[in-house]
Structure 1
């Protein structure tokens, strides 16, 4: 086991454009969407689709969306991740750095900063800030961080913390961050997760015969669950609802951020928000557990667009519960996960 002084920690999040200027947003979108684990089409087709069609059409609109949620300190996701870094650092003697899958700071910058602090670094513990396994989130972050590590031939050991979707500390932090909002009058709690194409679920099914093929597949035991995003988000919601003692008829799951026309996992958040008022669920709480830091998908897509959809269809009140961000229980959970990995080495 390496001494504390020989270990460093990297917290890795999604990333964000460097600014709300269209060229910066365009550059970010190309890097993000050209990732073969995000849009898994052949390279040439992907390049034509993204750089020739999607990004030219979306860049200006996306820049406007980012501008609407941008803070004076910068991108909310970047600011909140750095605040998380400071909070974790305050609870640990081990140096903590931040990296992003897309944009800045890069994993290389994070590794190099740790080496500047300690040239004799023996181990880096990497925590991808994605609770659930998906090829377009956790997988691409972990593999990218490892590719950079191997390419640069760093001498330290790299240890990557696995998804923590059902870990008691994470579930407790998420539930307790939600609890104060349950004191208000509400009809329904919606767990809105980032969506993924159905083909990603099929590709991740190690058995080739379980996911979306077996009846109630998320609750039928299978090795496929280790890499199944749909199963893992379902378990997270169920464990949180259980801890908060939410009646089954008072909560549900949906999936947001669909891109393109193909089938994504359902139900879609936009459609659910349209229909809930007609079902008598007019006072809504929405939480987005796929994200641990508030970002464009929570602050704009849900808190602004989602609220508009819900209210315009007859909803009366709409509250988006913030992500974990720097909640004290979340900070403690991270510290514990990192300490466990270090102790096991």
Structure 2
């Protein structure tokens, strides 16, 4: 019997400091998120970060928290319910971190008789701190507890025509009636070293402005390249004029070099360049979360307007819109057909 496991990042159970601390502790202790030796990671996180960050993050979560709970979780649940109505196989939702564990999701599928799981990491792009850690965790759980269950995984879909079409349609709908002079594609940031660690050739990725344009097997696991390709495909679909859009990366942590340009720097710079009417898109996310609702829609807007901008619009993620649901339905049906033939 076949089944589907949808997977996203996760969320604290509440905005209370203790719940945020527990969530951040699990998230940041993942060796694929902060990739330094365990003892250094432990001291850094437990000795420094978790002393102050949970209270600050809790305050940020309070700004975006819904009556039903975490926006990311609520949206993901709505998406899952819509999906269940359109496919014939069991579907479970799990999170990489937090109380909605992957182990629970897998167990729920197995308890229903599922022996073949289609894992769908809800990340369009490959990164060791998102896509890779989900796949690895699923493999570890199955190897330890359900060795007879087969696992197939949805590849990164950053340039899949169905995804690009749904994204472009969502963007066009939200841009209707908004007078903009620039569009910023703001992607989740990762350390530059993650790009090089994910390079199977150990030589292609230079992060020098040109390596993403040269064909290489490294592109299959290169987050930076895949982000740029998403922007190119959406720009092509929407017929955006060259010079009216650009890329940036948000959410830096620690002092290491992260992918550039930085979103907050760009937002402060644009008004001085005459770009005073801005639309911001966050294509690394399929569901709105803290990084989109607080960092971009709230803080980003404030930074841009304070720098002299006049019009600012955050474009919501696809969330549970029907086009996006239908895309996932198609991918699940294609998988079912492939494994049955």
- The aligned runs of 1:190-229 (5 Å cut-off) are 190-212=184-206, 216-229=210-223
1:291 is matched with 285
Matched, 1:130 2:150: no
Aligned-pair CA distance for 1:213: 5.5
Separation of aligned partners in 2, 1:154 and 1:300 = 41
Q: Secondary structure at the match of 2:279?
A: strand
1:3 is matched with none
C-alpha contact (below 8 Å) 2:80/2:91 kept by paired residues: yes
Aligned-pair CA distance for 1:95: 1.4
Aligned-pair CA distance for 1:212: 2.1
Question: When the two structures are aligned, how many residues end up with a matched partner?
Answer: 338
Aligned-pair CA distance for 1:122: 2.4
1:277 is matched with 271
Separation of aligned partners in 2, 1:205 and 1:8 = 32
Correspondent of 1:92 among 65, 87, 95: 87
Any gaps of 5 or more consecutive residues in structure 2?
none
Any gaps of 5 or more consecutive residues in structure 1?
1-5
TM-score (norm 1): 0.96
Matched, 1:168 2:161: yes
Separation of aligned partners in 2, 1:187 and 1:37 = 38
Superposition RMSD on alpha carbons, in Å?
A: 1.1
Identify the range of structure 1 (206-215 vs 62-71) with the bigger mean alpha-carbon deviation: 206-215
1:17 is matched with 12
Separation of aligned partners in 2, 1:269 and 1:86 = 34
C-alpha contact (below 8 Å) 2:75/2:287 kept by paired residues: yes
Structure 1 runs, 4 residues or longer, greater than 4 Å off: none
Matched, 1:81 2:76: yes
TM-score (norm 2): 0.97
1:145 is matched with 138
Separation of aligned partners in 2, 1:269 and 1:284 = 13
Deviations 1:75-100 (A, max 9, x none): 00000000110111111111111010
Deviations 1:234-288 (A, max 9, x none): 0001000100000011100000000011110100000000000111111110010
Identify the range of structure 1 (181-190 vs 74-83) with the bigger mean alpha-carbon deviation: 181-190
Aligned-pair CA distance for 1:153: 2.3
Deviations 1:207-244 (A, max 9, x none): 12211256511111011101000000000010001000
Deviations 1:165-188 (A, max 9, x none): 110000001000000233221111
